[in-house]
Amino acid sequence: MPDLALTEPMRAFVRSALPSWDSAGWVVEPVHNGGSGRVVLRLRATMPTATAGDPVSVILVAWTDQRPDNDRFLLAHAILERHDVRVPHLLQADAEQRLALVEDLGSRDLWCQRGQPWPRLRQIYGAALETVRTLHGIRPSSLSAGERDGLMPGFDSGMYRWEQDYFFDQCVNPFSTAPAADIDGWRAHPSLAALADELGAGAPDMVHRDFQSQNLMLRGDEVVLVDFQGLRPGWAEYDIASLLCDPYVALGRGERLILFEDSARLRGLDPTDPVLLRRYAGCAVQRLMQALGAYGNLGRNCAKPRFLEFIPPATKLLRETLADLPELRWLEDLLGSLQTCHAAPSMPLAAG
């Protein structure tokens, strides 16, 4: 994105936060953007800044009301920071102009580490699970009424049904070769409503909502969360499933099992507990249906066809997850009817 992408209000906002940059001068670099519709830019000072302690680079975030979660960014940041969850340092914000300057964490995210040997990769994932454990420790009941009302609505059966419908509308309908009557029958299958009702019966934790490899930045040996504007009440297992069943990273089933056990032990839970295992599997099915819907929508409707490359790996993960939920094995027939891009995935874009 060229420097001209900066509007005059953006420039004035940066100058007010970093007056020394006026004399130093600065350049603009695009930061990899996904499906959120936000503008994220890296600003770099071209000379040493005049004020000691000023950063040499920052991230400018600009957003609109196009998506309801965007305006929750500042509130979510304040809540997470107050509870010692690792998030980028906020330098300055203007809620009215929908602008924020935050710490530049660089370009090292978890996705970039996917080729590391398994022992090192397990350590990195362990750091990610430790960070999100702090987030999951926030009780929704501990927030003020204003904070709860200001965040995105919590997961309930209606939201899970929405994810299922999103999957059918944006992925199954356009890509399935099955007759329309079969698709309608699959959509109305009672086991899907039962899954939504089962998971929707509780929302005891706070969840990131898009806890996947590109939203986890590395700062030394720490993992820092970004894109957390979707913070809301839900099941912690939804975040765990989002990370371990991430179509952007090809973890093996055995590796996913080890990391699931690591996550359970971090939370003081028994990883062999059948209730926990079932809830995790259900959350994984929901998350993967949501991701498949997002890939279809972004690839077909938002002029981002590269997202279609991730439908096959997401479908493979969903097939593997069905082995843990026998009542949903009928989804095998549905997944077998999908015909989409089968190219090897290139660098991903965050679906949001």
Taking the alpha carbons of 100, 101, 107, 108 in that order, is the dihedral positive or negative? negative
User: Please, which residues have CB within 8 angstroms of residue 220's CB and are 6 or more apart in sequence?
Assistant: none
Whether the pLDDT of residue 169 is over 70: the answer is: yes
The whole-number pLDDT of residue 184 equals 97
The amino acid sitting at 264 is A
The whole-number average pLDDT for the span 314-331 is 96
Taking residue 293's Cβ as centre, other Cβ atoms within 10 Å add up to 22
The whole-number average pLDDT for the span 316-339 is 95
The average confidence (pLDDT) of the chain is: 92
Q: For residues 296 and 304, what is the distance between their CA atoms, to the nearest angstrom?
A: 10
Q: List, as one string, the DSSP characters of 61-124.
A: EE--SSSTTGGGHHHHHHHHHHTT---PPEEEEETTTTEEEEE---S-BSGGGTTS-HHHHHHH
The whole-number pLDDT of residue 66 equals 87
The whole-number average pLDDT for the span 310-334 is 96
pLDDT-based confidence at residue 348 (cuts at 50, 70, 90): low
Which tens digits make up the pLDDT trace of 1-29? 334 468 899 999 998 998 888 766 788 99
Q: What does the buried/exposed string (b/e) look like for 129-153 if buried means 16 or more CB atoms within 10 Å of the residue's CB?
A: bebbbebbebebeebeeebbebbbe
The whole-number average pLDDT for the span 339-349 is 54
The whole-number pLDDT of residue 73 equals 97
Q: For residues 278 and 184, what is the distance between their CA atoms, to the nearest angstrom?
A: 26
Q: Which strand (E) or helix (H) includes residue 43?
A: strand 39-45
Q: Name the pTM for this structure.
A: 0.92
152 touches 209 (CB < 8 A): yes
Which tens digits make up the pLDDT trace of 36-59? 668 899 999 887 655 556 788 999
Domains of the chain listed by start with CATH number: 3-103 (3.30.200.20), 111-336 (3.90.1200.10)
80 touches 227 (CB < 8 A): no
The whole-number average pLDDT for the span 170-182 is 97
The whole-number average pLDDT for the span 91-101 is 96
User: Please, which residues have CB within 8 angstroms of residue 88's CB and are 6 or more apart in sequence?
Assistant: 59, 102, 103, 105, 217, 224, 226
Q: For residues 30 and 45, what is the distance between their CA atoms, to the nearest angstrom?
A: 15
The whole-number average pLDDT for the span 248-256 is 95
Task: Output DSSP code: residue 239.
Answer: H
User: Please, which residues have CB within 8 angstroms of residue 330's CB and are 6 or more apart in sequence?
Assistant: 186, 189, 191
The whole-number pLDDT of residue 176 equals 96
Whether the pLDDT of residue 307 is over 80: the answer is: yes
pLDDT-based confidence at residue 152 (cuts at 50, 70, 90): very high
Which tens digits make up the pLDDT trace of 53-77? 678 899 999 998 888 999 999 999 9
Taking the alpha carbons of 148, 149, 155, 156 in that order, is the dihedral positive or negative? positive
The whole-number average pLDDT for the span 176-182 is 97
Task: Output DSSP code: residue 152.
Answer: P
